[in-house]
Structure 1
Amino acid sequence: MNTIQPEHNGAGLRIGIVQARFSNEIGSAMLKVCTEKLIALGVNTDDITVATVPGALEVPLILQNMASSQQYDALIAIGAVIRGETYHFELVSNESGAGVTRVGLDFNIPIANAILTTENDEQAHVRIEEKASDAALVAVECANLVNLLLEEQLEVFEEDDDQE
């Protein structure tokens, strides 16, 4: 059995981050934790691009534009959707999550979705540190894994060409 081990070395990786500004106090705190973790993992500050958008519904569009540029090894979505008294919470959290997932699959790029969906501000504040740190770790690990798998596919393709 061939097991691929997780690789958390971010050196040389290019990471794009999209932060929703709605609930900006939470999003800004998450951005700080996430970027600090990326740097601790070896990602160069010059290789981190941050874009902000009004809210969680706008995040997938900017992720899509970043992904289509082919300038990034992984992307991170950051923000918070906090339940209010209307159905709007369900709509925003469901559509945002589906959009983030679709972009990753459509463009074959890892996206760490760290958009919190909580009942209240207190729950969001409790999750800032762990969720933002995890997003950085997921982005680096999955970028390395996808890059490795793409390299292996290229090697197989080149071997097939050599045999012909």
Structure 2
Amino acid sequence: MPNEIQPAPADAHDRYAIVVAQWNQSVTGVLLEGAVATLRGAGVADDHIDVAWVPGSWELPLVAQRFAEGGEHAAVICLGVVVRGETSHDQHINRGVSLAMSQISLQFDIPVLFGVLTCESMEQAVDRAGGAHGHKGQECAEAALHMVGLLKNLPAS
């Protein structure tokens, strides 16, 4: 039977950063509430959750990078909403933001969670912020907790 590595339990001493876009705040605020509630439910105290608001999803990576390079946080959760419009603007934002977050995660060896809803309409965004299609804020916080615990149990590089 193979050796399956399981995540360590959540540690109350770990700090989490959440970067959230103000654009489409009616949805991103709900995503934030879900992420914070999930972290609290895992025993993370409010004073170990740092939240930074940025103007829009395009600005998420810069602040995520600052949190990651600071070395104080176990994970960075990024929350935003990009709704498709009449131009290809959304595609450029989504591609740039997703690639940047991936690079930050690998560069600083820290989980950077992509909680940016990339939707065709606001209705789809609402459905993914606690509606018919789950809650991306909660899901990102759950993934952050899982990854932090898993990295603790993986062999050092």
TM-score where L is the length of structure 1: 0.88
Secondary structure at the counterpart of residue 153 of structure 1: coil
**Gapped runs of 5+ residues in structure 2?**
none
Show the counterpart of 1:157.
none
Name the amino acid aligned to 2:145. Answer: V
For each residue in 1:46-88, what CA deviation from the matched residue of structure 2 results, as whole angstroms up to 9, or x when unmatched? Answer: 1000001011111000011111100000110001000111110
For each residue in 1:72-131, what CA deviation from the matched residue of structure 2 results, as whole angstroms up to 9, or x when unmatched? Answer: 001100010001111101111111111111110111101111110000000000101321
Q: Is structure 2 residue 152 aligned with structure 1 residue 147?
A: yes
Secondary structure at the counterpart of residue 116 of structure 1: strand
Q: Is structure 2 residue 64 aligned with structure 1 residue 59?
A: no
Show the counterpart of 1:161.
none
**Gapped runs of 5+ residues in structure 1?**
155-164
In structure 1, C-alpha distance between the alignment counterparts of 2:85 and 2:128, rounded to whole Å: 18
Distance change in 2, residues 1:31/1:17 (3 Å): same
Show the counterpart of 1:131.
136
**Where does 1:87-106 land on structure 2 (aligned, <5 Å)?**
87-106=88-107
Show the counterpart of 2:19.
18
Show the counterpart of 1:74.
75
Name the amino acid aligned to 2:142. Answer: L
CA RMSD, aligned part only?
1.4
Secondary structure at the counterpart of residue 11 of structure 1: coil
Secondary structure at the counterpart of residue 51 of structure 2: strand
- Return the index of the structure with the highest Cα Rg: 1
Q: Percent identity at matched positions?
A: 33
TM-score where L is the length of structure 2: 0.92
In structure 1, C-alpha distance between the alignment counterparts of 2:146 and 2:8, rounded to whole Å: 5
In structure 2, C-alpha distance between the alignment counterparts of 1:109 and 1:147, rounded to whole Å: 11
In structure 1, C-alpha distance between the alignment counterparts of 2:101 and 2:43, rounded to whole Å: 25
**Which structure shows the higher helix fraction?**
1
In structure 1, C-alpha distance between the alignment counterparts of 2:25 and 2:79, rounded to whole Å: 10
Distance change in 2, residues 1:37/1:141 (3 Å): same
